[in-house]
Structure 1
Amino acid sequence: MNVASLLLLLLLVGRRLQAAVVTESTLPTVVLAILARNAEHSLPHYLGALERLDYPRARLALWCATDHNVDNTTEMLQEWLAAVGRDYAAVVWKPEEEARPYPDEQSPKHWTKERHQFLMELKQEALTFARAWGADYILFSDTDNILTNNQTLRLLTERQLPVVAPMLDSQTYYSNFWCGITPQGYYRRTAEYFPTKNRQRQGCFRVPMVHSTFLVSLKTEETAQLAFYPPHPNYTWPFDDIIVFAYACQAAGVSMYVCNDHRFGYMNVAVKPDQGLEEEKTNFIHLILEALVDGPPMMASDHVSRPLKKPSKMGFDEVFVISLARRPQRRARMLSSLWEMEISAQVVDAVDGRTLNSSILKHLGVDLLPGYQDPYTGRTLTKGEVGCFLSHYSIWEEVVVRGLARVVVFEDDVRFKDNFRRRLEQMMEDVVTQKLSWDLIYLGRKQVSPEEEVAVEGLPGLVVAGYSHWTLAYTLSLAGARKLLATQPLQRMLPVDEFLPVMFDQHPNDQYKAHFWPRDLQAFSAQPLLASPTHYAGDSEWLSDTETSSLWDDDSGRLISWTGSQKTLPGPHLPLASSSGHSLHPHPTDEL
């Protein structure tokens, strides 16, 4: 390149950089209002999301207040502001150092009239500051609302709407908008809510209520009339900050909107008034797990010190995770999920069916169960299914060799139900109390048998297992492992999730059962289940190394997708679900 060409290139680059600077400097100014109370469990992820917003910090101001804390919220915010505050155009910090409850407060999550009023006064103070500072917008966002989409501010300000909320996902159908409101200011069910929440219709829609996270324009005459406190002179609706503001918008002729054409982030499901911070923390952990599955994941700030995790095996002798080495993302997600729940686990490298050939199988003593056919496609065993069986088999062997009294076995495609750890611990405590003799307990499965399963007396969370598919999560006793190994199943192999029902004598195929004796495995199942697959066949993210595989005796290396198999579809006893794990037949109160 000659000197003239180099100078021309530098000139063009310089012009582009100058244009980029001008564009960034003309972006609207926004005040981020951070009102935190007892938010230690969610604050690191909340602040991490704010840090990652793709928006110049020179165009942002922080207005932060915290009060009535009984946890480490104030210290966390101070630490964060000390690390990043200098990057923002302005910072307002209003801590209340003294830890104290509100009058008549029954718990830290109980909303009294005094608490509502104090919150409204704080929001009004933030709104007043934003107007005085000359901001174009103010963003209110609760500290358990995590904006994982780093384009959120740009997308919302580009709409140039007076009041607009990014629709947030949760563990249920609860979200940060209403589609209907009664003349008295209460929630009203409408036909539009679920299609909006499900994104069956997408766009920005006018609604009577947005809350928790929303952006307010400060540059119109109409929005200049908006206030949180004191309420409008004609206000007679419930004394609640979100309803007060919705009424103020209605009185000023300001429209509220919710946008759902992007995935903006997540919000935690509110706990009941009589519940405490521990329940709220449990809910938020489940939200983290859901985000790990559905993506994008929540990422905590590096500038905040978090309480140390203390992982354990939950009273089991070992927790195993079967995972293919060539699926690092699935392994990482699974280990992150267990870490969040403070569960320590041993990773077992799964036997990769793609590496198997006839000579290896012969050396291992593997042979097909005579007459076995997939119940849906009629095909024989796949190499992926052989690898899956060998992976579980290696754990059963380890249980016996090490003399492990009871273990948990996970595959790496598990979606955990809410409060998984405590529910499992409680179930096992009840099993011990009732002196139940057991070999295997399904934590997640597909119930295939249409018959109603028998409840276990004295254990309302357990049923006697019928014919079931899937081995994504189960507990196993030492006695159970010995029974499984004693039948020498490698010599007459069928898929592991068909073998287990044979062993507890619930498989419908008598010819299969005739090859194994005794069939006295004592098998039960959690009811309701504590785990499900991350994805089902038909979901965009669905992946199966057992269903996408060559047949067990085919050494050609071809990969065949056995899409005709219905094993990886939800069972008839499961509610039809979306890819995010939410039922598409919601309960009438799910949105509240």
Structure 2
Amino acid sequence: TASLSAPAMLRVGPLFPALLFVLLPARSRGYFPEERWSPESPLLAPRVVVALICRNAEHCLPLVLGAIERLNYPKNRVALWVATDHNSDNTTAILRDWLVHVQKYYHYVEWRPQEEPSRFTDEVGPKHWNNLRYEHVMKLRQAVLNTAREIWADYLLMTDCDNLLTNPDVLWKLMSENKTIVAPMLESRAAYSNFWCGMTSQGYYKRTPAYMPIRRQERRGCFAVPMVHSTYLVDLRKEASRNLAFYPPHEEYNWALDDVIVFAYSAQLLIYVQMYVCNKETYGYLPVPMRAHASLQDEAESFLHTHLEVMVKDPPLEPSSFLSVSLKQPNKMGFDEVFMINLVRRADRRERMLRSLYEQEISCKVVAAVDGKALNISDMELLGIRMLPGYKDPYHGRPLTKGELGCFLSHYNIWKEIVDRGLETSLVLEDDLRFEVFFKRRLQALLQEVTTHRLDWDLIYIGRKRMQVDRPEKSVPNIHNLVEADYSYWTLAYILSKRGAQKLLGAEPLGKMLPVDEFLPVMYNKHPVSEYMEHFERRDLHAFSAEPLLVYPTHYTGDPGYVSDTETSVVWDDETLKTDWDRAKSRKTHEQGELSFEAQNSDVLQSELENWSARDEL
């Protein structure tokens, strides 16, 4: 038996690979008949109707429509339903032009323009919502709801014409929540967003403790709420959605005539459909509503500010590729020069600031900041730099950092240029600020009043952190939104006269150096540490501040994305001593705390632009 085994193995051996090949199934066919079918293809994307109801939206349509084009969703599964009416601008022509160009990409387009009239009877302005306007919008929303049902759409996306959907996956993300009505929480410059957390028994807004943690994304998720508006997704596959309605209101409805309240009543009180808002990530932005008397210019500038807020966190939005946009005409706003300080290695900040200024039609001169990291002891000796005797950071007790030294020299070089060029009025901006709404108009109005009333001034803060918080600052008579500056931090943005620059240079600060935002209060005699002021004999800088401020920092200590080039550095004369200590203790870069009632600058003259919004949280 043993003698036969070996030859047998030799004969079988060469056959084994072939036998194995025969037994293995081919890649495209199974051994059993039921395994030989090709794999199933994926499901088609659900059919979606995107509804736009626009009025006087010329200023926002290029960006809004561009964002819709960039949604990461197959366009051949999307129907566009667009209506516009009562316009006094070019909204109708822009929408028509856009639809002509994009209709071939979308499954279906319904276009409902109404050329006349240009206003509703008895309205006080284009932002006034009277009952005629509410009823008209409710009928349009009901019409799009009917159309979506008639064409067997799976979903209906309602979105206002000034809402910017910056997250291209927003449709997929909302669908994945599997809710009948779900809204993406939209960001704004204030507490305002597109949901309510409370509603009174009469259908009005009710402030609740649950709102701000959701709005600030301290709690993340999808939350049941009594009201969503502006942008939301309706799942028309849900059986309960068949009874949703905007118009006519139910016969028992006796609340305010408002399309969002009527819809919420229809959903929650009639058919018990819960509304949800999701804040798991950033989905988009919306402007805060305007007061009834606001003009179209007010609304356009408010929307511009919404785009500026987008750029604080995200890249700038680009307009629709199918629409032509007029080039802007930047100017210096009446200043002899606008300086913008930027570290060469901070290209991201430079690009954001240049784009933000361009969008506001402001031209500037970029000034390369002195990089403290590149300074050595020889450089400092050559410049005659000496630290102010006894100076220590008020929170860490540390000496001056190289970053603070570079910051001071950056401003110092601008002061020298102002004097050398004989510039009477200049605006100095740092690159880590965010603009308030109506920034350009408010700044120009302030400059005009200061000139008209011949105010004796050297420096005017337009962005700062007020450090004296025990008592109010003195308001300036006859000039709106201006106070005499008390002890302040930050040099985010300020107006400087030629005389003011001469005073700052005349103090010869390089030989008794301290941070620039500590030096300025010394020069206008408001620094709380008298020992610092004793080193500067002449302290007669006439300093004021805008009230309220016109710019704020983009980030504060502890915020995501916060980076400091001044605090996170090394000590000016010792590169081995790091200063990136516990930032939680660095109150200098914290947000301004809420002032007590007694310390608020309540007697300052307020301009009409300070009351521009109709509501904040509401």
TM-score normalised to the size of structure 2?
Answer: 0.87
**Shift in Å at residue 359 of structure 1?**
1.2
- Corresponding residue to 1:83 among 87, 101, 107: 101
Counterpart residue identity of residue 590, structure 1: D
Q: Corresponding residue for 1:336?
A: 355
User: Separation in 2 of the partners of 1:519 and 1:473?
Assistant: 21
Structure 1 position 567 matched with structure 2 position 588:
yes
User: Separation in 2 of the partners of 1:272 and 1:542?
Assistant: 34
Contact between 1:63 and 1:126, CA under 8 Å: does it hold in 2?
yes
- Corresponding residue to 1:224 among 242, 245, 250: 242
Structure 1 position 167 matched with structure 2 position 185:
yes
Deviations 1:280-302 (A, max 9, x none): 11221222222211336544323
Contact between 1:447 and 1:573, CA under 8 Å: does it hold in 2?
no
Change (3 A) 1:32 1:373: same
User: Separation in 2 of the partners of 1:50 and 1:383?
Assistant: 47
Change (3 A) 1:298 1:535: same
Structure 1 position 542 matched with structure 2 position 562:
yes
Deviations 1:388-410 (A, max 9, x none): 11111111111111111001101
- Corresponding residue to 1:380 among 399, 417, 427: 399
- Corresponding residue to 2:436 among 417, 424, 427: 417
User: Separation in 2 of the partners of 1:213 and 1:82?
Assistant: 24
Q: Corresponding residue for 1:435?
A: 454
Q: Corresponding residue for 2:4?
A: none
Counterpart residue identity of residue 45, structure 1: L
Contact between 1:145 and 1:266, CA under 8 Å: does it hold in 2?
yes
Counterpart residue identity of residue 213, structure 1: T
Counterpart residue identity of residue 387, structure 1: G
Contact between 1:358 and 1:555, CA under 8 Å: does it hold in 2?
no
Counterpart residue identity of residue 229, structure 1: Y
User: Separation in 2 of the partners of 1:392 and 1:139?
Assistant: 50
Choose 121-130 or 559-568, whichever is displaced more.
Answer: 559-568
Contact between 2:244 and 2:263, CA under 8 Å: does it hold in 1?
yes
User: Separation in 1 of the partners of 2:292 and 2:46?
Assistant: 39
**Shift in Å at residue 347 of structure 1?**
0.7
The residue matched to 1:206 in structure 2 has which SS? strand
Runs of 4+ with deviation above 6 angstroms: none
Change (3 A) 1:572 1:27: closer
Deviations 1:103-161 (A, max 9, x none): 22221111222222221222122112211211101101001111111111001111221
Q: Corresponding residue for 2:214?
A: 196
- Corresponding residue to 2:309 among 280, 290, 296: 290
Map residues 142-157 of structure 1 onto 2, 5 A cutoff.
142-157=160-175
- Corresponding residue to 1:133 among 130, 138, 151: 151
The residue matched to 2:574 in structure 1 has which SS? coil
Contact between 2:290 and 2:614, CA under 8 Å: does it hold in 1?
no
The residue matched to 1:35 in structure 2 has which SS? strand
Q: Corresponding residue for 2:384?
A: 365
List alignment gaps of at least 5 residues for structure 1.
1-9, 12-17, 576-586
Contact between 1:503 and 1:520, CA under 8 Å: does it hold in 2?
yes
Contact between 1:454 and 1:463, CA under 8 Å: does it hold in 2?
yes
Contact between 1:549 and 1:561, CA under 8 Å: does it hold in 2?
yes
**Shift in Å at residue 525 of structure 1?**
1.2
Q: Corresponding residue for 1:267?
A: 286
Q: Corresponding residue for 1:120?
A: 138
**Shift in Å at residue 416 of structure 1?**
1.6
- Corresponding residue to 2:111 among 93, 111, 132: 93
Contact between 1:446 and 1:571, CA under 8 Å: does it hold in 2?
yes
User: Separation in 1 of the partners of 2:190 and 2:512?
Assistant: 44
Deviations 1:445-482 (A, max 9, x none): 12222442222222352222122111111000000011
Structure 1 position 301 matched with structure 2 position 320:
yes
User: Separation in 2 of the partners of 1:450 and 1:189?
Assistant: 29
User: Separation in 1 of the partners of 2:98 and 2:220?
Assistant: 36
Q: Corresponding residue for 1:582?
A: none
Change (3 A) 1:448 1:187: closer
Structure 1 position 519 matched with structure 2 position 539:
yes
User: Separation in 1 of the partners of 2:213 and 2:315?
Assistant: 22
**Shift in Å at residue 559 of structure 1?**
5.2
Q: Corresponding residue for 1:35?
A: 53
Choose 435-444 or 191-200, whichever is displaced more.
Answer: 191-200
Q: Corresponding residue for 1:502?
A: 522
List alignment gaps of at least 5 residues for structure 2.
1-26, 29-37, 597-612
Contact between 2:123 and 2:130, CA under 8 Å: does it hold in 1?
yes
User: Separation in 2 of the partners of 1:568 and 1:113?
Assistant: 48
Counterpart residue identity of residue 413, structure 1: D
Q: Corresponding residue for 1:591?
A: 617
Q: Corresponding residue for 1:179?
A: 197
Change (3 A) 1:74 1:460: closer
Change (3 A) 1:222 1:510: closer
Counterpart residue identity of residue 350, structure 1: A
Deviations 1:492-516 (A, max 9, x none): 2211111111111222233322222
